[in-house]
Copies of this chain bind each other. A is one copy, B any other.
Amino acid sequence: MEPTSNDTVQQFVEAWGAMGALWGINRSVARVHALLMATEGHLSLEEISERLQMSKGNASMSLRELRTFGVVRQVEVPGDRRDFYVTEPDVWTMFFRIMKERKRREFDPALDAIHQLLEQPSAKGEVLGRLKQMSDLLATVESLANRFLKDPASSKAALSFMADLPFSPKRPKK
């Protein structure tokens, strides 16, 4: 089978790179990820750095980030000193792993800060009401996140199911 055209790969790399901001990962990291996704086999650090026109240093750091997310892993080739990289093949799994890591890094600390604040007894009146509401909201988001991020396979099914329900689950009131 002939390979995917370089041009398409190129475009995909840039599109995914731009989209990275949405998921909260930076452009270089997203571009490396895209290149690996668009590649059948494995790639070496040097090859990645060349194809994406970025320094080896940057490529190395980006790969480390991707391994931390758990969406890229290293493969050994016997008799070759270089490290090679492949992407996790399941897109949903990738998606959940990235979300999980982001939640840990960003959401959880922010949630702590707000909670701590809510324990102080100084808020009054309407302001207190808003803080309570916000605490509820954050608790709900947190609970949903924990539930869905726990198990990608069944979450995927649940989400797809919800997305495909016929419109709409509720008539407007009255």
> Footprint of B on A, CB under 8 Å?
1-5, 7-9, 11-12, 15-16, 18-19, 21-22, 37-40, 89-92, 95, 106-107, 110, 113-114, 117, 120, 122-128, 130-131, 133-134, 136-137, 139-140, 143-144, 147, 150-151, 153-154, 158-160, 162-165, 167-170, 172-173
Contacts and interface: CB of A to CB of B under 8 A. Distances in A.
Contacts of A120: 8
Contacts of A165: 147
Contact of A113 (B2, B19, B39, B168): B19
Contacts of A3: 124-125
Contacts of A137: 91-92, 95
Given A91-B134, A106-B21, A154-B169, A15 B114 contact: yes
A73 to B, nearest CB: 16
B106 A12 contact: no
A87 to B, nearest CB: 8
B19 A124 contact: no
Contact of A1 (B95, B125, B159, B168): B125
A150 B168 contact: yes
Nearest to A95: B137
B164 A143 contact: yes
A126 B19 contact: no
